[in-house]
Structures are given as structure tokens and as C-alpha cells.
Structure 1
Amino acid sequence: MTTRLLPGDPDRLGGYWLAGRLGSCFDAYDSGGRRFVIKMARGRAPSVAPHCVARVVESGPGYVVSEFVQGPSLREAVGRRLCRRPRAARDGVRITASAW
């Protein structure tokens, strides 16, 4: 679910305008109205198998833009037991998030 931008959040990154937050990411749109997700980086991004993440469409200094994939958040998936290995999923997210 998208929530409002926080004070100090940018309203644009690269060629994308930010509509709100999706947890620690931004809900973003390009000039054609296509929806994307932008994650701000806090360090070096880890390497991840391509089939495990949404397609990256662009990156800039300190951010990565990826395709938007409709579906439940990780929290919802774990809560509804949609993940077969919720502990492994949470651990993987923690490892990935620590690099961002």
C-alpha cells in the first residue's frame, strides 16, 4: 500500500515523479504514466540472481529503478503463509536491505 512521502523525501528522482512510499521504497511513475519502484541505496548493492528480483530499468547515483510487480508485500505474504520458507525470505530481505 502506498503511503505519503515523508518530509525531506524528494518529489522526483531522475525522470520519475514519486507518488508516495512503498515501505522503504518509492512508488514512482515516468512521464508516460508507467509505474515503477525506486529504492535508495545506502551502500553497495549485493548481487542477486536475476529470477529473484524485479527487472532493473535504470540506476542513478544512489538509487535503482525497477519494474513494479503487483502482489502482496513480503510482510503480507509471510503473514498469510504465501511464502513456503518465511524465515529464509525474511533473512534474505534483511541481507539485501542492509546493503541499501
Structure 2
Amino acid sequence: MTKKFRFMTGLLAVVLAFVMLSSLAYIAVESDHDCTGVDCAICHQINVCENLLKSIGLAGSAAATVTAILYILCRIIPSCTEVARTFTLVSLKVKLSN
């Protein structure tokens, strides 16, 4: 990975964390507001923040699942090929000659 890619990934993570924390702070601060009824702008904004947090949470869990699967596959496949490679006739002859 290049330095620019790492920087952009880190910047994206910081921005995402800031958005999540600011949404949580807004919900916490405005949870006791004086509601004006059906067309309450604060209630609408709280709903938007809740939907944002739910979608970010779902995307984060999907990304974590894919990362875990790829990590497991990258650990299993090389070990399987290494085991299969050690049982060839040439590799056994090399082992015996040492």
C-alpha cells in the first residue's frame, strides 16, 4: 500500500468516526426537546441520525465479515498448498538427502 492510500483510508476513518459521534451527540442533546407535533424538525433530524447510524453499523458489520472471510481464506489456502507441496516425491527425496 502506498502512503497516499493509507492516508486517505485513515482520513476516511476519522471522518466516519466524527459523523457517528456527532450524530450520537445530537441525539443525546435533543432527546428532551419540546416536540411541536407531526412536522417537528428536530424529530425528523433525530430520525435521520438514527437511520445514518443503523446504515453505518450495517455497512461496518458487512465489511468486518468480508474482511474476516478473506483473512481466513488467505490463512487456509497457503497452508493447504504448503502441505500438498511437502508430500511430493521430489520434496521427500530432498528431505531424505539432507
Fold-level match, TM-score > 0.5? Answer: no
Higher strand share: 1
Bigger RCO of structures 1 and 2 (CA < 8 A, at least 6 apart): 1
TM value normalised by structure 2: 0.30
TM value normalised by structure 1: 0.30
